[in-house]
């Protein structure tokens, strides 16, 4: 990206954070949610896809540019960046780097525009920082997978419409395969249960519904 264009984006984000987000920090804390106005404005500014590839609707920021932008959005409630951080980070980047071309075309434009919110479902009671303990299973059933297992501390879980779910397809396999990107509006939620979790320091604004999820018998598309 041209340095002048990037500087203009950073300035616009800084002004937006100062004018709109910081004055609403108490509201975010009290309601445990990001106001819809802030979400829609963030989407218009491209914040849901700043680190996603341009060919899929993102802004294509490199690491240095992303860090500079994070300095600006990090000056306010951590929940604000969390709203779109997973789209740009662990969920979006997993699809961008390891998904099929069909999956990229299907999910990345929606993540980049803010139409969809992604989540990264790895952590379990026995797995997270040590994913070798992963117990969630995914069994192939025609063109779908039947997923059975439980996840916890999944940011944006109940808010998300795109799930990146880690599961084992072979109990004896050494690797941990990925079942990428299931639509959360219908098939991924069928058979799912959501558990409320206790609050965590610095997480106000994400809401309890964004903290954890339990899956049982879900049938996401491949």
Task: Report pLDDT digits (tens) over 50-108.
Answer: 999 999 999 999 999 999 999 999 999 999 999 999 999 999 999 999 888 998 999 99
Mean pLDDT of 96-124: 92
Residue 15, both tokens: 């002004």
* pLDDT for residue 203: 58
* pLDDT for residue 217: 45
**What is the tally of structural domains in the chain?**
2
Question: Do 8 and 29 fall into the same domain?
Answer: yes
Structural domain ending residue among the three candidates 113, 134, 151: 113
If residue 102 lies in a helix (H) or strand (E), which one and from where to where? helix 101-113
Query: How many whole angstroms from its chain centre is CA 164?
Result: 8
Question: Do 63 and 144 fall into the same domain?
Answer: no
Question: Do 175 and 99 fall into the same domain?
Answer: no
- Residue 36: pLDDT over 70: yes
**Other CB atoms within 10 Å distance of the CB of residue 51:** 25
* pLDDT for residue 191: 52
Write out the residue range of the structural domain in which residue 61 sits.
3-113
* pLDDT for residue 121: 87
How big is the CA angle at 65 (ends 38 and 200), to the nearest 5 degrees?
A: 50
Mean pLDDT of 119-132: 84
Dihedral of CA 16/119/128/90: which sign?
Answer: negative
Task: Report pLDDT digits (tens) over 167-221.
Answer: 888 766 544 444 444 544 444 455 555 555 555 545 555 554 433 445 544 444 4
């Amino acid at each position: 990206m041209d340095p002048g264009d990037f500087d203009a984006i950073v300035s616009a984000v800084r002004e937006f954070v100062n004018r709109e987000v910081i004055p609403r920090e108490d509201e975010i804390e009290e309601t445990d949610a990001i106001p819809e106005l802030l979400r829609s404005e963030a989407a218009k500014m491209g914040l849901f896809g700043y680190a996603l590839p341009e060919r899929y609707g993102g802004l294509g920021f490199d690491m240095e540019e992303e860090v500079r932008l994070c300095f600006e959005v990090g000056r306010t409630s951590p929940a604000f960046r969390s709203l779109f951080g997973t789209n740009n980070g662990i969920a979006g980047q997993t699809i961008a780097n390891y998904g099929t071309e069909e999956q990229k075309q299907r999910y990345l434009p929606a993540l980049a525009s803010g139409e969809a919110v992604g989540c990264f479902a790895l952590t379990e009671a026995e797995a997270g920082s040590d994913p070798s303990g992963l117990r969630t299973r995914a069994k192939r059933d025609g063109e779908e997978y039947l997923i059975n297992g439980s996840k916890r501390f999944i940011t944006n879980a109940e808010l998300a419409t795109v799930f990146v779910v880690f599961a084992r397809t072979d109990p004896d396999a050494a690797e941990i395969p990925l079942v990428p990107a299931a639509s959360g509006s219908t098939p991924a939620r069928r058979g799912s249960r959501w558990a409320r979790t206790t609050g965590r320091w610095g997480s106000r604004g994400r809401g309890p519904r964004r903290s954890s999820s339990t899956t049982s018998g879900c049938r996401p598309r491949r």
